[in-house]
Each structure stands twice: as C-alpha cells, then as structure tokens.
Structure 1
Amino acid sequence: MADLSPRSEISFLQTFLCSAFAACFAEFCTIPLDTAKVRLQLQKKAVVGDTTGSQKYRGLFGTMATIAREEGLAALWNGIIPGLQRQCIYGGLRIGLYDPVKIFLVGSAFVGDIPLFHKILAALLTGALAIIVANPTDLVKVRLQAEGKLPAGVPRRYSGAVDAYFTIVRQEGVGALWTGLGPNVARNAIINAAELASYDQVKETILKIPGFMDNIFTHLLAGLGAGFFAVCIGSPVDVVKSRMMGDSTYKNTFDCFIKTLKYEGFLAFYKGFLPNFGRLGSWNVIMFLVLEQAKNIFRV
C-alpha cells in the first residue's frame, strides 16, 4: 500500500501474519463499538403512538451504557471469539493479497504511482475473496451480538461461538453459515476498497507534502481518512448485512432492502452512522498503526 511494502520486500506469509495480528488487535479494542452499531442497525423504527415500540437504544454511548447496565459489561464483547477468527482469516487475506493483486493488475514492470483505479479494483477483489472464506465467522459474530435484543425470559440460542457454529449447522444446514453472503460480499468488497485504496491514496498524497514523513502521524491521518470513506460508502450494505444475519424474517437481500426502505425510509440505511464511523474510524487508525509497526519489524 502507499506504501505497506516498498521499503524492502517481505513475504506474503509475513504480510498475512502482520495483517491478521493488526486486525485482531483493532477488533478487540473496538468491538464494543461494533456491538452498539449492530444493535442500532437491528433496531426497528418505532410505530407512532406505540409506547411499547419506543426506541431502546439511542446513540453510541447510550447504547453501550444500556447494554452494560442490562446485560453486564462483558456483553459489549459478545462475538469477540468469532470476531477474532474472522479477522485472522479476513484481515490476513484481504490485506495480505492487496499488494500482490495490485502489482499483478499493473504488471511487475510498472514504474511510478499505481493508478487509483487499479488500487480500487485490487481491493474489491481481495475483499470479496476474503469474506467468501470468512463469512461463517461473520455470521456467528453477528448472531452472538444480536442475542441481547431477545425479550426477557426468552432463552439464548447459543452458549458460545463453538456452540453457535454447531447449532446453526444442525438446525439450518451447512449452507446457513453463508447466510447474507451477497450483501456481505458487496459490503466487504466495497469497504475494503474504501479502506485500502483510500489509505493507500491518502498516504501517498500526504507523503508528497513537504515536511510530512512516513511516520505515525501520517498513518493516523490516512487511517482516519480510510475509516470515513469506508463508512460513507459502505453503510447501506452494512445495515442490510447486519439485518440479514441477525433477523431471519427477511426472505433475501432484496426483500430486506425493500422492506427497510419502505417502512423506515432511506436514512435507515445510515442507521448507526456515528457509531459505525466511531467503530471503523478507530478500527482503521489502530489497525494501520499496528500493521505499519509490525511490518517494520520484518523490514529490519
């Protein structure tokens, strides 16, 4: 990326390990924000005059406080195990493959700044491929995060991550592990393009400004830019993905999209925007900072 590799070449395995570690570290630090985001996205719009349908969750910190108060502080880390599993696979593959695919698209003999189009295309391809492999971990993570919205007295569906995998396969079939694959591929390909390509481009642009160097401050600015673009572009498919995985009442992706649009309006696709940005913005900053430092270890 702009660049995650050129100072000295490191192997794909080294890049994969650095990416997986950085993604897992960022996941652990920010999953409370993600849990709040998922609850806000799954929350249906209250019917006018229906006091029983009033909004339970309000705002990022309000949602986190409600979850912690009603379910315990540990509930904010619901889904952390499949979340880490997801990042090991998805984070390692999407970032580890990005530079090789980018170079393949322009040719190994290419000299100069790689065009933005090729950066975007490379990130789209690696994001789609990585999430196809990692979709089961994403599904289980969302299911566990959604557990807390079940009515009081209703028994929990899963006792943990491993039980969730087996229960889903036993009750719904192996194919159910790839529930929501369509919107998930769309979401992760788009967000991956927004994150990696924008980080690449923003960092490349910053380094051309006199006085800026390839240091932590530059990585921080580029990471914030990556998170902002990712949320703006990927929020609609992220909402549909969360609802498809957390609510079995939708027939398919199109049905989920139409019903959300019809009953809640276009802005519903940006439900949880601020917590989503809080999550992705902080996630990208942490992930890219850790990734850059981890890769420097192998460059020494």
Structure 2
Amino acid sequence: MADLTHRSEISFAGTFFCSAFAACFAELCTIPLDTAKVRLQLQKRAAVGEGYGTSKYKGLLGTVATIAQEEGLIALWKGIIPGLHRQFIYGGLRISLYEPVKAFCVGGNIFAEVSLFQKIVAALITGAIAITLANPTDLVKVRLQAEGKLPPGAPRRYTGALNAYYSIIKEEGLGALWTGLGPNIARNATVNAAELASYDHVKQFILNIPGFTDSIFTHLLAGLGAGFFAVLIGSPVDVVKSRMMGDSIYKSTFDCMVKTLRVEGALAFYKGFLPNFGRLGSWNAIMFLTLEQTKKIFSL
C-alpha cells in the first residue's frame, strides 16, 4: 500500500506542513474552476427564483469565460483567501491525521495489514474532524464565490474575507459560520475517504504494472483517479452544500434536498459534474504530486 505520510521519517508536524502546503498550492492553481463550479451549481436555483428561462452559465470553460468577461479575470479567484484558510486547516489535518487514525482502527499496530474498509473508516473520521474545524472558512469562500456582477453603484455584500467573517457573525450570529455543516461533513468525509483510499489503491495498481515506477507520472495518474472517484461519490452532497452555503433560503439539509429534487429532478444533484471533475481531478493531481515531492524534501 502507498504510504501517504512516510511515518518512519516524517513527524506529525512535518506531515501536517507538507499536507497544508500541498493543499494550498493546489487551491491557488485551481480555484478558478471551483468558482465556475459553484456558479453552475447555484444558477438553476437563481434562475427559477427570478423567473428567467435561460441559463447564464454554460459549461466549465464557458462559465470561466463569462465570469472573466463580465467581472474581470481577478473575479475567478474570488474566495481565495478563505480558500487558503480552509486548505491550511482542512487539508493539513485530514491527511496528517489519516495514518494515526488508521493505526487506531487496527488496534495501534502500525505494521498490521489494513483493509479497504478500515482505510475508508479512517478517512471518514479525519475528513469529518477537519471540516468541522474548517467550516467557517468554507462558508465564507462559497459566499464570496457566489456573488456575481452587480448593477452599477450597487454595494457588494462583503468587501473581503475578514469583512465576511465579521458581517456573518454580526448579522446572523456566531453559529451561522457553521451553516451547512451537516452536508459539508457528509461531503468532505465522503470525498476524503474516496480520495485517500482510491489514491492508495490506484497508485499501488499502477506500480504493479510492469514499467511503472514511483514517479511523477504515476502520482499524476493516481491523483486523477482519486479526483474521479471523489466527484462520483461526493457530487450530490456537494451540490446541497453549495446551495445551503450560497444562501439562507433552505431550512435544513433535508429541505434543500427535497426542494432540489422536486423542482429540478434527480440529475440536479450531479449538476456541474464535469466542471467538478475538472476541478477535483486537477486539484488532486496537483495536490498529491506536490505532497509526494514535499515529503521527499522533508525526508532527506
């Protein structure tokens, strides 16, 4: 099995730093695709509520182009500050905790054979812990990304990340920073399990193919595989999470699911699947590649 932490050579603090750095770098590179994904996930609800019959955003590249044309290129990086906050906390914890929790699942024996089920359970636990702490950063990121072009003279809802944190606490209360925590835990725990377990297995599968070595190309392929499984499994809860965080019109996770299903049908839960894979596939490829290279530096 591929060891994500090199536990015999790198400390927990070192693993956390490597994981946080890799996650932040991947976020910086791919957040334009995430901004496009959020707009695609939210636009149907906005169109239905406002009475429009056509969709403003069409496809991943079309959405990127529309945002850049109407709002400026820099708008594609809306939410980057809370996005980096999120990845530092969530990305650092979910990976650095993975090996200790996995060892706990097998009774503390770090050399014991770990089953696929135990790896999934460990990743579910670490994903849930990490996103619970990082939920406020995720909320602010989605709120900033969801805001599109405004009419001339109209003030923006938030002037920046810090203003968003302050405004949400002042207007909605401290607990509002954990809006959407239920679907966020469901989404990120599930995606984390899909990513870490699939990366382990896809990488090991590739290494068993004659001619393949533990190289950059192998890391890229395994990262793309991890991204695909993460999107396939996590898309429904990701859509619900984005809609709940994007606005406060839903009373609960169940209410959001029912309204989405009733108004748009079951396929709405896979709205933005391709841009989501474009985002998560490239994100995982960059993150795992950066993580592997950073760990090598730390283990020298």
TM-score (norm 1): 0.95
Q: For the structure 1 residues 72 and 112, does the alpha-carbon distance in structure 2 shift closer, same or farther, using more than 3 Å as the test? A: same
Structure 1 portions without partners, runs of 5+: none
CA distance in 2, matches of 1:6, 1:144: 37
Tell me the amino acid that sits aligned with residue 143 of structure 1.
R
1:49-93 Cα shifts (integer Å, max 9, x gaps)? x98331000000000111011111000000000000000000000
Name 2:37's counterpart in structure 1.
37
The amino acid of 2:20's aligned partner reads A
The letter for the 2-side match of 1:122 is: A
Counterparts in 2 of 1:93 and 1:225: CA distance versus 1, 3 Å: same
Q: Go from structure 1 to structure 2 and tell me whether the alpha carbon gap of 1:150 and 1:233 turns closer, same or farther (over 3 Å shift).
A: farther
Aligned to 2:210: 210
Report how far residue 111 of structure 1 moved: 3.9
Q: Structure 2: which 5+ residue stretches go unaligned? A: none
Letter in structure 1 aligned against 2:124: L
Q: Which moved more, 1:19-28 or 1:154-163?
A: 154-163
Report the CA distance shift for 1:47/1:165 in structure 2 as closer, same or farther (over 3 A): closer
| More moved, 131-140 vs 144-153 | 144-153
Deviation of 1:152 (Å)? 6.3
Secondary structure of the structure 2 residue equivalent to 1:52? coil
Contact 1:8 1:299 in 2 (8 A): no
2:141 counterpart of 1:147: no
Pick which of 18-27 and 97-106 moved more.
Answer: 97-106
- Is the counterpart of residue 73 in structure 1 residue 56 in structure 2? no
CA displacement, residues 12-60 of structure 1 (integer Å, 9 cap, x when unaligned): 0000000000000000000000000000000116989x98331000000
Contact 1:86 1:137 in 2 (8 A): yes
Contact kept, 8 Å, 1:206 with 1:212, in 2: the verdict is yes
C-alpha deviations, 1:209-257, integer Å up to 9, x for none? 3322211111111101100000000000000000000021111111100
Indicate the residue corresponding to 2:138 in structure 1. 138
Output aligned runs, 1:150-189, within 5 Å. 154-189=154-189
Q: How many pairs does the alignment contain? A: 299
> Do the aligned residues in 1 keep the contact of 2:5 with 2:96 (CA within 8 Å)?
no
User: What is the TM-score with the length of structure 2 in the denominator?
Assistant: 0.95
Higher mean C-alpha deviation, range 107-116 or range 87-96? 107-116
* C-alpha separation in 2, matches of 1:151 and 1:101: 50
Q: Is the 8 A contact 2:139 2:245 kept in 1?
A: yes
Distance 2:138 2:46 in 1: 28
| Bigger mean CA deviation after superposition, 51-60 or 135-144 | 51-60
| Superposed displacement of residue 116, structure 1 | 0.7
RMSD: 1.9
Does the 8 Å CA contact 1:33/1:278 hold for their aligned counterparts?
yes
Which residue matches 1:238? 238
Contact 2:24/2:87 (8 A) holds in 1: yes
| Structure 1 counterpart of 2:273 | 273
Which residue in 2 is equivalent to 1:225? 225
Q: Is the 8 A contact 1:46 1:55 kept in 2?
A: no
Task: Say whether the 8 Å CA contact 2:236–2:270 is kept in structure 1.
Answer: yes
The residue aligned with 1:63 is 63
Comparing 229-238 and 205-214, the one that deviates more: 205-214
The structure-2 alpha-carbon separation of the partners of 1:193 and 1:30, relative to structure 1 and needing over 3 Å to count, comes to: same
Q: Distance in 2 between matches of 1:240 and 1:149?
A: 23
Q: String of CA shifts for 1:173-220, please: whole Å, max 9, x gaps.
A: 000000000000000000000001110111122222332221111111
| Map of 1:295 onto structure 2 | 295
Shift of 1:7: 7.7
Structure 1, 150-159 or 280-289: larger mean CA deviation: 150-159
Equivalent pair of 2:2/2:204 in contact (CA under 8 Å): yes
Matches within 5 A, 1:10-49: 10-44=10-44
